[in-house]
Structure 1
């Protein structure tokens, strides 16, 4: 059974990391970042729901008086 030749592994792994680093750098450098984000002024609109006009009390079963 022949021996596994591992003499080229170092240069293969090193070139793989170098290639990945270069690809990542080119991807990141081509990305356009916004310098100052613009703020939008949104007028708050209050929604009128029918249940907001009434006062209701919710009775929990544990808050009922004991008889």
Structure 2
């Protein structure tokens, strides 16, 4: 039974590890890493809409004047 002959195990395991290492490196080198997106700065302007005051009065009672 050739499986029990341990003299070839070292060469077999070493060649397997080297092959996997090389294949893994090739696989990673083919991958495209996109650069991280930069934040887009835009002008912000406050819109005065009629419902803003009502919204604050109903849902933010701590902003009301003290009684």
Q: So what's the TM-score if we normalise by structure 2?
A: 0.51
Where 2:26 maps in the other structure, the secondary structure is helix
Higher relative contact order (CA 8 A, sep 6+): 2
Match of 2:50 in 1: none
Structure 1: 4+ residue segments shifted above 3 A: 35-38
More helix by proportion, 1 or 2? Answer: 2
Q: So what's the TM-score if we normalise by structure 1?
A: 0.51
1:1-67 counterparts in 2 under 5 A?
4-35=4-35, 37-41=37-41, 50-52=58-60, 54-55=61-62
When the two structures are aligned, how many residues end up with a matched partner?
49
Q: Which blocks of at least 5 consecutive residues in structure 1 are unaligned?
A: 56-67
